[in-house]
Amino acid sequence: MKACVYASPGKVELRNIPEEPIERGKIRIKVAYCAICATDAHVVKRGLWDAPLGIVLGHEVSGIVVEMGPDAGGSGLKIGDRVIGSPLRNCGLCEQCRRGRPQYCNAYSDMVFGGMAEYKVYDQKNLYKIPDYLALRDASLIEPLTCVMRAMDLSNIQQGDAVCLSGCGGIGLLMLQAIKAKGASRITVIEPVAEKHELARELGAEFVIDPKTESVAERAFEITSGLGYDVVIEASGAPVAAPVCIDIAGKCGTVVYFAVYPTDFEMPVNLYDLYSKELRIQTVYTHPLIYPRAVDFASEINLDRVIGIEFPLEECVKAFEAFDTKKYPKVVLRCSEDELL
Ligand SMILES: [Zn+2]
Ligand SMILES: [Zn+2]
């Protein structure tokens, strides 16, 4: 089958690879769509998670069940079901799993990759059936949506809270809609790419701050009548965007550092400033048990508008180039030509 692999540092390649054998408790899906995640690009560019050369990239997957392994019926899934795949694994038996922290399962430190291929074998526990009204293309964004929902769960946004979001990439635009759905007010985005401002407004931003041409702090206090934001969420992952988030948070505010920052990035913070406003700093990892809720929440979010461009699997090299331009919020690979998709 065809697959997009991490060929060498900085390079992806379309290769023909053998299909994985199917084992006990496993289910094979025909991949419909796989979205490119920033972490895929980090793997290719800087070897994130020590990913080995030759692995098939991709973990934001939707598809159709085509083969059931022995004893895979416990999931209730059957051939023909439309599903999404989760890249997270948890054993349910280790100390972390038993203490309610399955995202830190001791048995698995790696994610399930391999989504940018014609077929993919999953453990039955990692597949979730999606409703008929959800398009398979849109459903490929459910994995990033679960991360956004984890941020919402931890950010504790109250209705009417003034909320600012830094960064309007693909995940930022999902976050923006989730913030709106929470009933936030004075929703503001900080985004240096002018081409993204209009879409941000369309998807819920009341105010847009361009950090290239305006003082972020000045505008932020103007918008919040001098109070600062109740919640600030940094989703750009750019070190340069990180410090100001603390400055523009108000008294008793929360700053959520959502993105995956460079591993050597350190940011000085003035603890007196934090003390004087009783500020809370929150980071976000992930949580495997959000998937069922994300499947239901997906229809409340305009996922189609977040998908900027689509390429067939054969053009995966072009797709990664398009991702690198940062012009498109989300780049999606169409992995099957099946008319039913
Ligand atoms: Zn992802
Ligand atoms: Zn475990």
Listing DSSP states for 184-210 in one string gives -EEEEEE-S-GGGHHHHHHTT-SEEE-
Q: What percent of the chain has pLDDT over 90?
A: 87
- Residue 20 confidence (pLDDT) above 80: yes
The range of the structural domain enclosing residue 190 comes to 146-283
Q: Is 31 helix (H, G, I), strand (E, B) or coil?
A: strand
- Residues 175 and 272 occupy one common structural domain: yes
Q: Are residues 115 and 205 in the same domain?
A: no
Q: What is the pLDDT of residue 39?
A: 87
> How many structural domains does the chain have?
2
pLDDT at 62: 97
Residue 262 pLDDT exceeds 90: no
- Domain contains 293: no
20 shares a domain with 58: yes
Q: Same domain, yes or no, for 268 and 320?
A: no
287 exposure class (CB count in 10 Å sphere: 0-12, 13-18, 19+): buried
Together in a domain, 158 and 124: no
CB-based neighbours (< 5 A) of ligand 2, an ion: 90-91, 94, 97, 105, 107
Distance CA 307, CA 168 (A): 13
pLDDT value, residue 260: 85
Output the domain CATH number for residue 101.
3.90.180.10
* pLDDT, tens digit, 9 for 90 and up, residues 32-83: 999 999 889 988 988 777 788 999 999 999 999 999 999 998 889 999 999 9
CA of 128 to the centre of ligand 2 (A): 20
Q: Is the pLDDT of residue 340 over 80?
A: no
The ligand whose atoms approach the alpha carbon of 260 most closely is 1
Instruction: Verify that 275 and 197 share a domain, yes or no.
Output: yes
Average pLDDT of span 150-162: 97
Instruction: Assess contact for 286 and 147: CB atoms under 8 A.
Output: yes
- Ligand that comes closest to the CA of residue 147: 1
Nearest ligand to the C-alpha of residue 105?
2
* 274 Cα: distance to centroid of ligand 1 (angstroms): 31
Q: Are residues 101 and 208 in the same domain?
A: no
Residue 15 lies in a domain: yes
Residue 288 lies in a domain: no
Based on its alpha-carbon atoms, the radius of gyration of the chain, rounded to whole angstroms, reads 20
Q: How confident is the model at residue 263 (pLDDT cuts 50, 70, 90)?
A: confident
Alpha carbon distance 215, 155 (integer Å)? 25
Q: Please write the tens of the pLDDT for every residue from 91-119.
A: 999 999 999 999 999 988 777 889 999 99
Segment 176-185 shows an average pLDDT of 98
pLDDT at 197 over 90: yes
> Could you tell me the distance, in angstroms and rounded to a whole number, from the CA of residue 87 to the centre of ligand 1?
9
Distance 34 CA to ligand 2 centre (A): 27
User: Quick check: is 294 in a domain?
Assistant: no
What pTM does this model have? 0.93
